[in-house]
Amino acid sequence: MNEHGIGKPLDYIERCWREQDPGRRTTLIAWHEGRFAGWLHLLQTSVYPPFAEQGIPEINNFDVVPARRRLGIGNALMDAIEARAFERSAKVGIGVGLYHAYGNAQRLYAKRGYIPDGRGIADHGVPVEPETTVYVGHDLALWLIKERPAGSAT
């Protein structure tokens, strides 16, 4: 997927394909004008321990091809995956990176009603303690939750 600006190793893509199962992982892929535009996954068991312990499914690895952003593709993917998540759970979670490359995602999640889970930032899913040094990379994240809208089907 490197030609799309979404660098994922082939073994990761193959693992996602093998894990396709509504009880484990659901992957949605978006196309725009006949070309790959983005994807995201719903993990029934989150990689973030607090979500896993509470049974909160996780939206994971959400990517929209940079050249196809701001066309509504991300919102369409999120609408579809949230609908699936809310069929099984009253809440859905997502982690977002903290540096500038995640700025669009941070804004999108806030606009969609996601709020911090209240545990602060985590590195590789482990809460960061005060006065520690961390590496600012893809695994340093703020974890967010969205509740099923009132009146939605259970």
DSSP conformation letters of 49-106:
HHHHHHT--EEEEEEE-GGGTTSSHHHHHHHHHHHHHHHH-SEEEEEEE-SGGGHHHH
Sign of the alpha-carbon torsion through 69, 125, 137, 15: negative
pLDDT, tens digit, 9 for 90 and up, residues 1-48: 444 445 555 566 566 666 676 678 899 989 999 988 988 999 999 999
Give the per-residue pLDDT at 2: 45
**The pLDDT of residue 136 is above 90:** yes
Can you tell me the mean pLDDT for 92-117? 96
Residues 6+ apart with CB under 8 A from 48: 58, 93, 95, 122, 125, 143
Backbone angles phi, psi at 43, to 5 degrees: -95, 120
Amino acid at the residue 52? A
Residue 17 and residue 41: Cα distance in Å, rounded?
A: 11
Residue 128 in 3-state DSSP?
Answer: coil
pLDDT, tens digit, 9 for 90 and up, residues 40-71: 999 999 999 999 999 999 999 998 989 998 99
